[in-house]
Amino acid sequence: MQIKEIKNDLSEALDLVWRVFLEYEAPFYTDEGIDTFHKFIMDKEKMSTLTFYGMYDNEKIIGVIATRNNGNHITLFFVDGKYHKKGIGKKLFEKVLKNATSKVITVNSSVYAVEVYHKLGFIDADTEKVDNGIRFTPMKLILR
């Protein structure tokens, strides 16, 4: 398995994001939230501002993490369900840590991922919010 930065064609990565979102996160969202998320990942201009890393098993993408703010805010973090609890997410997250330019990394965690982020050392920065149907908990990790 190998992590690579994805610079050009994001279609495979975004297909994985959408598939995993529908399976694990969409059940917690209203139709408005699902639509908002879909529009976000289909916005080529917004996606072009993010830094994407993919975990590949041979040539198949099995996980994606994307950041903004010079690597200091996690925007997308999805691992194919067949690879959950196998350390894929942790390895992707470690790649982000290596490239962070601040002592604080933030994320707006989905309902499904709050416990994952807690295991990675994040703490809640606020209570759960809803914006355009997207439910999230603002979280942060203070690096030492």
Question: pLDDT tens per residue, the chain (144 residues)?
Answer: 899 999 888 999 999 999 999 999 999 899 999 999 999 999 999 999 999 999 999 889 999 999 998 889 999 999 999 999 899 999 999 999 988 888 999 999 998 899 999 999 999 999 999 999 999 999 999 987
* Residue 43: C-alpha distances to residues 39, 46, 48, 51, 82 (Å): 6, 5, 9, 15, 27
Cα distances (Å, whole numbers) of residue 128 to 72, 81, 121, 137: 20, 24, 18, 4
pLDDT for the residue 7: 87
**What pLDDT sits at residue 12?**
94
For residue 74, what are its two tokens?
């996690």
pLDDT value at position 115?
Answer: 92
Secondary structure of residue 119 in the 3-state scheme: helix
Quick one: pLDDT at residue 50? 95
The residues spanned by each domain of the chain are 2-142
2-142: CATH topology is: Aminopeptidase (3.40.630)
Residue owning tokens 């997308």: 76
On whether the pTM is more than 0.85, the answer is: yes
pLDDT at 130: 94
DSSP output for 24-56: IIGGGS-HHHHHHHHHHHH-HHHHTTSEEEEEE
pLDDT at 143: 87
